[in-house]
Amino acid sequence: MRTLITGAKGRLGSRLAERLNHSHEVTGIDIDSVDFTDFQAIRQTVRTLKPELVLHCGAMTAVDECALNPDEALRVNGYGTKNVALACLEVDAAMLYVSTNEVFDGRNTGEISEYDPVHPINSYGYSKMVGEQVVRDHLRKFYIVRTSWLFAQGGNNFIHAILKRAREGQPLRVVVNEVAVPTYNYDLAEAIIKLISTQQYGIYHLVNAGRASRWAFARKVLDLAGFESLEIEKISAAEYARPSTPPEYSVLKNSAAAALGITLRPWQDAVQAYLQHEGLLIS
């Protein structure tokens, strides 16, 4: 299948490109080759490649930057996604748009279903909600896949940040009242690959199973990496000043994909697998 991946150098896009390379005719693009906020550029790329499927993983993902530059977040995540959707429409390509737990307001302390009403409370969430809306407005063949708290190889992520502080002997203070689901990019990519083979278009929540506070996530990482005795101070989100306001509870429930037989393992097992892959697993 001719498949175009945007954000192909990012956490999710790079893994999808790697995994699909043998079975699909894959073209990966990123900001250094095609900027999807330029309609003519993405349109020309899509017209030339004529993909049957576009996996739209490109986005402005730094939530604090989005809070500081809400117009830019909207331009990239909202209107940029509209450009991709319109280009898909022209060649009748299916589109998979990756969205986020941050389209929800964080008040639901239970699990959030695929069709619960969205209500973002920050610029990133708003821009991603606009992305969802433009995909739904323009296309019939679409998947919207919401996920949360992605961790992936390399670069800066929550796991590396926690382990770095632990190794340097710096005090650890982690927020206890922000709850979602840590999700491994490898597991998400596998679930997406299964999903696109179904052609069951619609809205999906693809996250590892379970739920965690930031604190519990950090605790698990430290326990598995040999820092069991290290204390982590529990702090509230209000004590951790940052430009963005993440939703307090945004535990996505996978029911639509589970109905198709697509489930992800518990997040604790995924963290263990990740640390093993990175050579960081001790216990």
Ligand X SMILES: NC(=O)c1ccc[n+]([C@@H]2O[C@H](COP(=O)([O-])OP(=O)(O)OC[C@H]3O[C@@H](n4cnc5c(N)ncnc54)[C@H](OP(=O)(O)O)[C@@H]3O)[C@@H](O)[C@H]2O)c1
Catalytic residues: 124
Taking the least distance from each CB to ligand X, the nearer of 28 and 170 is: 28
Q: What is the C-alpha to C-alpha distance for residues 200 and 258, in angstroms, rounded to an integer?
A: 12
| CA separation for the pair 27, 174 (Å, rounded) | 39
Does residue 85 touch ligand X according to CB under 6 A? no
Binding residues for ligand X, how many (CB under 6 A)?
Answer: 26
State the minimum distance, in angstroms, from the CB of residue 150 to ligand X.
Answer: 4
> Which of 16, 103, 150, 224 is close enough to bind ligand X by CB under 6 A?
150
Contact status: 31 vs ligand X (CB under 6 A): yes
**Smaller CB separation from ligand X, 12 or 176:** 12
Q: Which residue of the chain is nearest ligand X when measured via CB?
A: 10
Q: How far is the CB of 26 from ligand X (least distance, A)?
A: 16
Write out the H or E segment, with its range, that includes residue 80. helix 80-91
Q: Is 123 in the site for ligand X (CB under 6 A)?
A: no
43 lies in the binding site for ligand X (CB under 6 A): no
Q: DSSP secondary structure string, 122-135? A: SHHHHHHHHHHHHH
35 binds ligand X (CB under 6 A): yes
Torsions phi, psi for 180 (to 5 deg): -155, -150
As measured in angstroms, the least distance from the Cβ of 176 to ligand X is 19
Under rule CB under 6 A, residue 149 binds ligand X = yes
Q: Which stretch binds ligand X (CB under 6 A): 52-60, 164-172, 213-221, 243-251?
A: 52-60
Within 13 Å and on the Cβ side, how many CA atoms surround 267? Answer: 28
Contact pick of 53, 55, 74, 76 for ligand X (by CB under 6 A): 76
Task: Identify the DSSP state of 197.
Answer: T
**251 sits near ligand X (criterion: CB under 6 A):** no
Report how far Cα 55 is from the mean position of its chain's Cα atoms: 13
The full length of the chain comes to: 283
Could you report how far apart the first and last alpha carbons of the chain are, in Å? 42
- Give me the helix-helix angle, 267-277 and 185-196, nearest 10°: 110
Is residue 29 within 8 A of residue 52, CB to CB? The reply is no
Tokens of residue 51, six digits = 């993909």
Q: Which of 148, 208, 213, 272 binds ligand X (CB under 6 A)?
A: 148
Indicate whether 36 belongs to the interface with ligand X (CB under 6 A): yes
Q: Which is nearer to ligand X, 75 or 226 (CB)?
A: 75
84 binds ligand X (CB under 6 A): no
Nearest to residue 259, comparing CAs of 211, 205, 215? 205
Contact 207, 257 (CB under 8 A): no
Pick the stretch among 32-40, 208-216, 225-233, 265-273 that binds ligand X (CB under 6 A): 32-40
Which residues sit at the interface with ligand X, rule CB under 6 A? Answer: 6-7, 9-13, 30-31, 35-37, 57-61, 76, 80, 98, 100, 128, 147-150
